[in-house]
């Protein structure tokens, strides 16, 4: 059972996704309704300039790099323009040269005087480098024909070498200078690498004068040699991009955020990363969640991150993760600080020890019900209830204190579902998603109760009710298929408990248990052979095996005073 549970945990993380617009009637659907979050201006009044500042910082960095790249390219082409006074280029090349310089000059002026949106900058980035590469290839084509007319093989060979040299410079400039992930750098490198051989091959296939001219410029051996050089350079450049991005991440880990000193990364999700940290003055260990650097360029992600802060800050229940602080660093990194959970997630409990005894399951889930009661009162739907977002910890001398975490997909129930411009999306983790979420419908608090029912099923049986081959199959199962009766799967469980779980898993929200309070009362009335309280919880924590202790140490190894030296920023 342990191996099966581990596979399920891995599948959950793999399938933790957002299928934007999969069941939407509109193009460009978003992960959340705009009405489900507090406005950006409201958020800005609470936290400096607000979450938009982080996106602005990312955009500003790219604009600065693009402006510098255009200046370098403009300077290089200006030098060759001066050279043109001594070595007369064909008229076509001079016209292309001046046109490209004018484009770069306009780009430098525009990037200096105007603050462009991130999407516009990305378009200009790709357009500029592709345009420069196209210019190099066009001038090579012209120079080959001029060399053929003059019967000058040496000029043709030199033209190929010069083009290859400038292609290498352009490739290096793009991969090493423009901030990017290595995947995008690799895509651009493909264009740079195969442009030169494509022109040489085209000159032999489609240009009769070149094809009939006896010159060693487009032989298979020469093309292969040039291609190997370009491929080697491209590989090095793309690897360099990867190394630079990794170094940025390491520098980030060593950075201080306000009054907090960062330690090692202890968790990561689709959008945010969590770091071990401590307050520099109070020496209190805590966890800091920051938005992923590659996600920070998307305004929608930044707003979703801000929404998580707002939602968590509105909740104060003992069984909800506590938010200590939130803010923005000097270089625009948006972050929030929360309590450090010195315990295990429900997922880890099952992964390491298999299904839990029903008395402990009820003890833990009752506490989660209380946290969800508060969320219902403030009209928030968590939308991502799953074992990896639920923890059991030691707090205030009490053992098995349950904690509800990760409000990254939280949504308000106050917004109207009949708004014409409402944007729908499938959001959450497929293994624990309610039927209405799977269909892209707007969920309410009963959706969280369905997901909690799936968690109950998982904790009691060791597996969730549906385990399809892929995410879509699982979503279809939640929406359409009947759940295998828990009592048949685990005959030793109390009938009343199995009935409660199966009622939570009804397809129609109105047929389920309607509130977290009702679910709590139903669980409290289940008759059990054994009990679970502080005595049993303390005994379990005292007898915890090494694998579980290691998991907790990894998450809380920077206890008070262990981050003793400031990390360089």
**What pLDDT, on the 0 to 100 scale, is given for residue 89?**
62
Number of domains comprising the chain: 3
Is 36 inside any structural domain?
no
CA separation for the pair 317, 394 (Å, rounded): 16
Task: Name the catalytic one among 351, 384, 400, 406.
Answer: 384
Ordered DSSP codes for 70-130: HHHHHHHHHHHHHHTTTSPPPHHHHHHHHHHHHHHHHHHHHHHH----HHHHHHHHHHHHH
What single-letter DSSP state applies at residue 320? B
Is 317 inside any structural domain?
yes
**What pLDDT, on the 0 to 100 scale, is given for residue 206?**
64
CA separation for the pair 543, 541 (Å, rounded): 5
Q: Same domain, yes or no, for 374 and 522?
A: yes
State how far the alpha carbon of 268 is from the alpha carbons of 1, 29, 388, 432, in Å.
26, 25, 12, 19
**What pLDDT, on the 0 to 100 scale, is given for residue 145?**
78
Is 561 inside any structural domain?
no
Q: Same domain, yes or no, for 8 and 86?
A: no
Q: How far is CA 279 from the centre of its chain?
A: 27
**Coil, strand or helix at 159:** helix
323-328/334-338 β-pairing: antiparallel
Are 437 and 427 a contacting pair, CB within 8 Å?
A: yes
- Please confirm, yes or no, whether 384 is among the known catalytic residues: yes
Helix axes 118-149, 52-83, angle to 10 degrees: 20
CA separation for the pair 150, 507 (Å, rounded): 80
CA separation for the pair 264, 276 (Å, rounded): 6
Q: Which CATH number fits the domain that encloses residue 280?
A: 3.30.200.20
From 227, 252, 277, give the residue that closes a domain: 252
H helices present in 490-533, as ranges = 495-504, 516-524
Q: Same domain, yes or no, for 280 and 365?
A: no
**What pLDDT, on the 0 to 100 scale, is given for residue 408?**
67
Stated as kind and residue range, the H or E segment containing 343 is strand 343-345
From 213, 232, 252, give the residue that closes a domain: 252
Tokens of 408: 């990254």
Q: Same domain, yes or no, for 132 and 212?
A: yes
Among the listed residues 410, 414, 448, the one whose alpha carbon sits nearest the alpha carbon of residue 309 = 410
Q: Same domain, yes or no, for 167 and 93?
A: yes
Q: Same domain, yes or no, for 401 and 487?
A: yes
Q: Which CATH number fits the domain that encloses residue 361?
A: 1.10.510.10
Degrees, nearest 5: CA angle 124-127-132: 125
Are 358 and 496 a contacting pair, CB within 8 Å?
A: no
**Coil, strand or helix at 444:** coil
Tokens of 56: 């602005």
Residue-level pLDDT, tens digit, the chain, 569 residues: 444 444 434 433 333 333 333 333 333 322 233 233 233 233 233 223 333 333 445 577 788 888 888 898 888 888 876 765 555 566 667 788 788 888 888 988 988 888 888 788 888 888 888 898 888 888 888 878 777 777 777 777 788 888 888 888 888 888 777 777 778 888 888 888 888 778 777 776 666 566 556 555 555 566 677 777 878 888 888 887 778 777 766 665 556 677 787 777 777 766 777 888 888 788 888 888 887 666 666 677 777 777 777 777 778 888 988 888 877 776 667 788 888 888 889 999 999 889 999 999 999 999 999 999 998 888 888 888 999 889 999 888 899 999 998 876 777 766 544 433 344 556 668 889 889 888 888 888 898 999 999 999 999 999 999 887 788 888 888 888 888 899 999 999 999 999 999 999 999 999 999 999 999 999 999 989 889 999 999 999 988 888 788 878 776 664 333 333 322 22
From 214, 230, 252, give the residue that closes a domain: 252
**What pLDDT, on the 0 to 100 scale, is given for residue 296?**
65
What length is written for the chain?
569
Is 295 inside any structural domain?
yes
Q: Same domain, yes or no, for 311 and 371?
A: no
Is 46 inside any structural domain?
no
Q: Same domain, yes or no, for 207 and 334?
A: no
Task: Assign 3-class secondary structure to 266-309.
Answer: EEECCCEEEEEEEECCCCCEEEEEEECCCCCCCHHHHHHHHHHH
Q: Same domain, yes or no, for 378 and 262?
A: no
Is 418 inside any structural domain?
no
**What pLDDT, on the 0 to 100 scale, is given for residue 267?**
74
Q: What is the tally of helices (H) and strands (E) in the chain?
A: 20, 13
Stated as kind and residue range, the H or E segment containing 57 is helix 52-83
Domain housing 318:
256-339
**What pLDDT, on the 0 to 100 scale, is given for residue 49?**
34
Q: At residue 567, what are phi and psi to the nearest 5 degrees?
A: -85, 135
Q: Same domain, yes or no, for 361 and 477?
A: yes
State how far the alpha carbon of 285 is from the alpha carbons of 147, 281, 337, in Å.
71, 11, 10
Q: Same domain, yes or no, for 137 and 273?
A: no
**What pLDDT, on the 0 to 100 scale, is given for residue 34?**
28
Is 38 inside any structural domain?
no
Is 284 inside any structural domain?
yes
**Per-residue b/e over 206-223, b at no fewer than 16 CB within 10 Å?**
ebeebeebebebbeeeeb
Are 175 and 240 a contacting pair, CB within 8 Å?
A: yes
**What pLDDT, on the 0 to 100 scale, is given for residue 307?**
74
What single-letter DSSP state applies at residue 463? S
What single-letter DSSP state applies at residue 217? T
Q: Same domain, yes or no, for 227 and 370?
A: no
State how far the alpha carbon of 568 is from the alpha carbons of 256, 288, 362, 565, in Å.
8, 17, 46, 9
State how far the alpha carbon of 547 is from the alpha carbons of 349, 398, 551, 554, 569, in Å.
11, 22, 7, 11, 34
């Amino acid at each position: 059972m342990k191996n099966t549970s581990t596979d399920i945990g891995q599948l959950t993380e793999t399938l933790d996704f957002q299928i934007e617009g999969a069941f939407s009637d509109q193009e460009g659907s978003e992960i959340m309704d705009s009405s489900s979050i507090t406005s950006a201006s409201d958020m800005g009044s609470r936290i400096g300039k607000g979450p938009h500042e982080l996106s602005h910082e990312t955009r500003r960095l790219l604009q600065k790099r693009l402006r510098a790249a255009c200046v370098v390219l403009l300077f290089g082409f200006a030098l060759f323009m001066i050279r043109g006074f001594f070595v007369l280029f064909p008229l076509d090349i001079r016209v292309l040269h001046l046109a490209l310089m004018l484009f770069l000059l306009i780009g430098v002026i525009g990037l200096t005087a105007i603050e462009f949106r991130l999407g516009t900058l990305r378009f200009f980035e790709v357009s500029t480098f592709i345009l420069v590469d196209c210019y190099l290839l066009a001038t090579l084509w012209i120079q080959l024909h001029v060399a053929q007319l003059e019967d000058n093989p040496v000029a043709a060979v030199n033209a190929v070498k010069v083009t290859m040299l400038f292609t290498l410079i352009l490739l290096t400039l793009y991969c090493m200078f423009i901030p990017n992930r290595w995947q995008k750098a690799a895509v651009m490198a493909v264009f740079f690498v195969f442009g030169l051989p494509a022109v040489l091959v085209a000159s032999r296939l489609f240009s009769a004068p070149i094809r009939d001219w006896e010159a060693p410029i487009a032989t298979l051996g020469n093309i292969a040699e040039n291609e190997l050089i370009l491929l080697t350079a491209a590989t090095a450049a793309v690897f360099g991009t990867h190394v630079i991005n990794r170094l940025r991440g390491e520098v980030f880990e060593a950075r201080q955020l306000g009054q907090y000193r960062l330690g090692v990364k202890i968790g990561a999700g689709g959008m945010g990363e969590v770091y071990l940290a401590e307050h520099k003055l109070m020496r209190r260990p805590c966890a800091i969640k920051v938005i992923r650097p590659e996600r920070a360029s998307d305004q929608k992600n930044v707003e979703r991150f801000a929404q998580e802060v707002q939602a968590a800050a509105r909740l104060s229940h003992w069984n909800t993760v506590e938010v200590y602080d939130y803010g923005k660093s000097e270089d625009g990194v948006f972050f929030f600080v929360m309590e450090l959970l010195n315990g295990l997630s429900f997922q880890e409990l099952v992964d390491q020890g298999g299904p839990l005894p029903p008395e402990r399951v009820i003890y833990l889930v009752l506490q989660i019900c209380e946290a969800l009661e508060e969320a219902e009162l403030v009209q928030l739907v968590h939308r991502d209830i799953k074992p990896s977002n639920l923890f059991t910890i030691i707090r205030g001398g009490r053992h098995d204190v349950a904690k509800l975490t990760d409000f990254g997909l939280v949504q308000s129930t106050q917004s109207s579902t009949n708004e014409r411009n409402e944007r729908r999306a499938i959001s959450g983790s497929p293994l624990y998603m309610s039927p209405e979420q799977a269909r892209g419908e707007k969920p309410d608090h009963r959706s969280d109760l369905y997901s909690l029912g799936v968690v109950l099923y998982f904790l009691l049986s060791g597996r969730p009710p549906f385990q399809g081959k892929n995410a879509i199959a699982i979503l279809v199962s939640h929406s359409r298929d009947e759940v295998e009766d828990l009592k048949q799967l685990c005959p030793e469980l109390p009938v009343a408990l199995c009935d409660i779980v199966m009622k939570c898993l009804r397809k129609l929200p109105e047929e389920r248990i309607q509130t977290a309070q009702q679910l709590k009362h139903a669980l409290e009335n289940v008759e059990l052979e054994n009990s679970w309280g502080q005595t049993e919880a303390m005994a379990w924590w005292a007898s915890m095996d090494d694998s579980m202790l290691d998991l907790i140490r990894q998450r809380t190894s920077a206890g008070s005073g262990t981050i003793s030296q400031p990390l360089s920023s």
